[in-house]
Structure 1
Amino acid sequence: MLDPHLLTLHTLTMKQLATAEELAGVSGQPATEVEAELEKAVADGAVMAARGKFMITPAGREQLDAAYPVVFGALRSDPAVAAAMDAFESGVNKQVLKVTTDWQTVEVGGERVANDHSDADHDAKVLDRLGRILDKLPAVLGPVEDPLVDRFVDRLGAALTRAESGETDYVSGVRVDSFHTVWFQMHEHLLRLTGREREE
């Protein structure tokens, strides 16, 4: 597990530009701890501050790149983890990308157009598919024993619950912790844990 300082830097790689409170929401750290670690990171040049938001610097990324192989060495050398990541990439990750497309667009006259969410039956089917993917996720990622992965699964469930209650932004909106946003963060976290590159 990353120490509080490195975890704060690590969380910034997933949020890009964020407040201390937003980072705490991702990592589960107390906001006061995140604020203290950000202060130290700004002082040593690992993080830049601008108008209450923070961004990791190349120096901060270098700190993480040096730490990951040490902290996650056992996980990276575990064949079960490698198999789990293969299954994740070829299975549920591709499914989420497809479902997100089907949420954002619909086929009309053989062409894809923006989904205006007037077809409740279509949207319900898409949400049901997301639910089935989420149900499979703990088993797929079971070998990746990491507390932050469990937190991501919980956040995905919270986003889906809000979407099912009619808050449509919580499927793929970029201004909220939508299913798609949290999934992207989780994917980035998994890649950094396992030392893999994002597939194009």
Structure 2
Amino acid sequence: MDMDATLVFHGLAIKKYARPEDVARLICWPHEKVAMRLNEATQSGRVVEISGAYTLGPLARVALDADYSRQYADIRRNDVFLAAYNSFEHVNIELKSLITDWQSVNVGGQTVANDHSDESYDMAIIDKLGGIHDRVEVILAKLSQGIPRLTFYTAALTRALERAEAGEIEWVSDVKIESYHTLWFELHEDLLRITGNQRAE
């Protein structure tokens, strides 16, 4: 595959099932260019389209996975990028723990689902999320030196955090929108694919 095809397929692999505009935002391309590429890939059978959204076909997934080592060979030898990636993985552990705290609370010694009735508890979590964000901004700045399109995540994560801080708490982790946790998960998947690492269970 050429680099353009790899990038479009890469964006689709991260989003899993997405419209052209979703992939375009992620890879920092014009919507029309992504739509054209996806239409060509659909006609060749590499991509499946359902109701205006697209997903990779099995052969495209195999081809994409095989192509990463070639397309990202230089990045995988870039010490600055890899050091920043390792820093991200350390912060990722903290983010996962914080999201667990967001989703559950301790009541009488029992862990129960957070019904978000305690505003002070929720805002304390969001405040900690802001601290994590400050650190990941620095990491993303270093990662973006190697792959400039990763600046998308800096802007998108900032928007999600600002909405959460304004009281729209669904922007912390709602899977139906580009919430902070949704974007973080996609960023992690992006980095894993770039570096050739596996997601820890």
TM-score, scaled to structure 2? 0.91
Q: Secondary structure at the match of 2:117?
A: coil
Unaligned segments of structure 1, at least 5 residues: none
Q: Provide the residue aligned with 2:17 in structure 1.
A: 17
Judge conservation of contact 2:76–2:82 (CA < 8 Å) in 1.
yes
Q: Secondary structure at the match of 2:112?
A: strand
Q: Provide the residue aligned with 1:98 in structure 2.
A: 97
Moved more, 140-149 or 167-176: 140-149
Mapping 1:22-33, distance limit 5 Å? 22-33=22-33
Residue 185 of structure 1: how far off its partner (Å): 0.5
Separation in 2 of the partners of 1:110 and 1:136? 32
Q: Secondary structure at the match of 2:74?
A: helix
Identical columns (%):
38
Separation in 2 of the partners of 1:149 and 1:22? 15
TM-score, scaled to structure 1? 0.91
- Cα deviation code 1:60-101 (max 9, x no counterpart): 123322332222111101233333322222x21011111111
Q: Provide the residue aligned with 1:61 in structure 2.
A: 61
- Cα deviation code 1:138-193 (max 9, x no counterpart): 33345432123211121111111111112111111010000010001000100111
Aligned residues: 198
Aligned CA RMSD, in angstroms, stands at: 1.7
Residue 109 of structure 1: how far off its partner (Å): 0.8
* Aligned residue identity for 2:34: V
Q: Provide the residue aligned with 2:135 in structure 1.
A: 136
* Aligned residue identity for 1:178: S
Separation in 2 of the partners of 1:174 and 1:187? 15
Residue 45 of structure 1: how far off its partner (Å): 2.1
Moved more, 185-194 or 45-54: 45-54
Moved more, 33-42 or 147-156: 147-156
Separation in 2 of the partners of 1:161 and 1:143? 22
Moved more, 189-198 or 26-35: 26-35
Q: Provide the residue aligned with 1:38 in structure 2.
A: 38
Unaligned segments of structure 2, at least 5 residues: none
Residue 137 of structure 1: how far off its partner (Å): 1.0
Separation in 1 of the partners of 2:28 and 2:139? 23
Moved more, 136-145 or 6-15: 136-145
Separation in 1 of the partners of 2:172 and 2:150? 19
Moved more, 34-43 or 112-121: 112-121
Q: Provide the residue aligned with 1:174 in structure 2.
A: 175
Q: Provide the residue aligned with 1:88 in structure 2.
A: 88
